């Protein structure tokens, strides 16, 4: 199938992008890497009147660091996240998750902002920004605002980005002393969307858990924190007993739907397996 006919406009600044969207009388969409939007157009799952190509917008690409943390431009491509020494040093959870995102050809074009704007519940980066307690910078008619990742994901494929607003950057707080991170997922084949994924961001000293954020993918309509399991772990010694208690606590946090391919029980079982593996990996790293 081919996409329905649409108008196309390339813009080079945030202001121009916002103005182009506002002046469209029909439906407009921003085009970043095109790795989700273009397949959707070709399959006629979406049929906007205007595509606004933002891929050359100044100031929305690249990674920088300051005393308030890491800033990743929304147009930074998955491959750039994967290879960035600054990301590896200041937000290594993203470097660890990036190889799980699709395949090299898609990672060469897809952008982190596109992934977060789409907010597929099975995607890797949404869980990472939730675990990292990141904020999202959003530009709109009233200027620039930031929203915490905890408040950003609203419903299936629905985020805090309003119509005509542009996600411009992801802001990640500096890593704490003793920070340990881990990313893992279970998928049928490497590069597939996960059956279950888990991003962990913890502060651990001598196997004692001071802080922890656990963010799961593919267990509901939005990336989901396991807050009961987090509370169970904080202040405890990370050993076999603590890990088993956290796995049991997941029953309070997650209630994944079943599909024809994966039952709810299997998904829940895999979430527990993933949590056990990830916590054991953190434990090994702490020694």
Ligand X SMILES: Cc1cc2nc3c(=O)[nH]c(=O)nc-3n(C[C@H](O)[C@H](O)[C@H](O)COP(=O)(O)OP(=O)(O)OC[C@H]3O[C@@H](n4cnc5c(N)ncnc54)[C@H](O)[C@@H]3O)c2cc1C
Long-range Cβ contact pairs of 76-81 (< 8 A, separation 24 or more): 76/111, 76/112, 76/113, 77/33, 77/107, 77/108, 77/109, 77/110, 77/111, 77/112, 78/102, 78/106, 78/107, 78/108, 78/110, 78/111, 78/112, 78/115, 79/104, 79/107, 79/108, 81/112, 81/125
Q: In the chain, which ranges are continuous DSSP H helix?
A: 14-23, 37-42, 78-83, 85-90, 92-97, 104-107, 112-118, 124-131, 149-152, 227-233, 240-253, 264-286
- Segment lying near ligand X (by CB under 6 A), choices 18-26, 104-112, 226-234, 272-280: 104-112
In the complex, the smallest distance separating the C-beta of residue 194 from ligand X, rounded to whole angstroms, is 7
Q: Is 37 in the site for ligand X (CB under 6 A)?
A: yes
In the complex, the smallest distance separating the C-beta of residue 281 from ligand X, rounded to whole angstroms, is 21
In the complex, the smallest distance separating the C-beta of residue 262 from ligand X, rounded to whole angstroms, is 16
**Residue 17: closest CA among 33, 30, 36, 32:** 30
Our CB check for ligand X shows the closer of 35 and 232 to be: 35
In the complex, the smallest distance separating the C-beta of residue 47 from ligand X, rounded to whole angstroms, is 13
Q: Is 159 exposed, middle or buried (0-12, 13-18, 19+ CB in 10 A)?
A: buried
Our CB check for ligand X shows the closer of 153 and 193 to be: 193
Among 14, 18, 35, 216, binds ligand X (CB under 6 A): 35
In the complex, the smallest distance separating the C-beta of residue 110 from ligand X, rounded to whole angstroms, is 2
Q: Is 97 in the site for ligand X (CB under 6 A)?
A: no
The residue count for binding ligand X (CB under 6 A) is 27
Strands 135-140 and 166-172: antiparallel
In the complex, the smallest distance separating the C-beta of residue 117 from ligand X, rounded to whole angstroms, is 3
172 DSSP assignment? E
- Segment lying near ligand X (by CB under 6 A), choices 102-110, 221-229, 238-246, 274-282: 102-110
| Contact between 237 and 207 (Cβ < 8 Å) | yes
Q: Is 247 in the site for ligand X (CB under 6 A)?
A: no
Among 94, 102, 196, 243, binds ligand X (CB under 6 A): 102
- Binding mask 126-165 vs ligand X (x if CB under 6 A, - otherwise)? -----------------------------------x----
| Contact between 273 and 244 (Cβ < 8 Å) | no
Q: Is 32 in the site for ligand X (CB under 6 A)?
A: yes
In the complex, the smallest distance separating the C-beta of residue 84 from ligand X, rounded to whole angstroms, is 16
Residues with Cβ within 8 Å of residue 8, at least 6 apart in sequence: 50, 51, 53
Our CB check for ligand X shows the closer of 61 and 225 to be: 61
Give the interface with ligand X as residue ranges (CB under 6 A).
29-37, 39, 74, 101-102, 106, 110-111, 113-115, 117-118, 123-124, 161, 166-167, 193
């Amino acid at each position: 199938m081919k996409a329905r006919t649409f108008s196309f406009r390339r813009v080079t600044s945030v202001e121009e992008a916002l103005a182009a969207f506002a002046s469209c009388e029909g439906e407009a969409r921003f085009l970043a890497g095109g790795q989700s939007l273009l397949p959707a157009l070709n399959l006629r799952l979406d049929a906007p009147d205007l595509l606004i190509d933002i891929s050359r917008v100044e100031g929305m690409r690249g990674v920088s660091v300051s005393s308030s943390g890491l800033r990743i431009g929304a147009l930074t491509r998955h491959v750039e996240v994967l290879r960035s020494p600054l990301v590896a040093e200041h937000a290594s959870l993203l470097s660890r998750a990036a190889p799980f995102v699709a395949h090299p050809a898609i990672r060469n074009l897809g952008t982190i902002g596109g992934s977060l704007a789409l907010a597929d519940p099975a995607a890797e980066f949404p869980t990472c920004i939730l675990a990292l307690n990141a904020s999202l910078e959003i530009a709109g008619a009233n200027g620039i605002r930031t929203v915490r990742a905890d408040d950003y994901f609203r419903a299936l494929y629905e985020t805090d980005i309003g119509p005509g607003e542009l996600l411009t950057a992801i802001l990640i707080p500096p890593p704490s002393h003793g920070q340990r991170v881990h990313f893992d997922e279970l998928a049928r084949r490497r590069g597939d969307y996960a059956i279950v994924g888990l991003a962990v961001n913890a502060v651990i000293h001598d196997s004692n858990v001071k802080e922890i954020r656990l963010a799961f993918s593919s267990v509901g309509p939005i990336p989901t924190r396991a807050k009961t399991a987090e509370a169970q772990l904080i202040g405890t010694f990370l050993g076999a007993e603590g890990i088993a208690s956290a796995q049991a606590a997941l029953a309070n946090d997650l209630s994944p739907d079943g599909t024809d391919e994966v039952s709810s029980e299997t998904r829940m079982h895999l979430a527990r397996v993933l949590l056990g593996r990830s916590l054991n990996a953190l434990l090994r790293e702490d020694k």
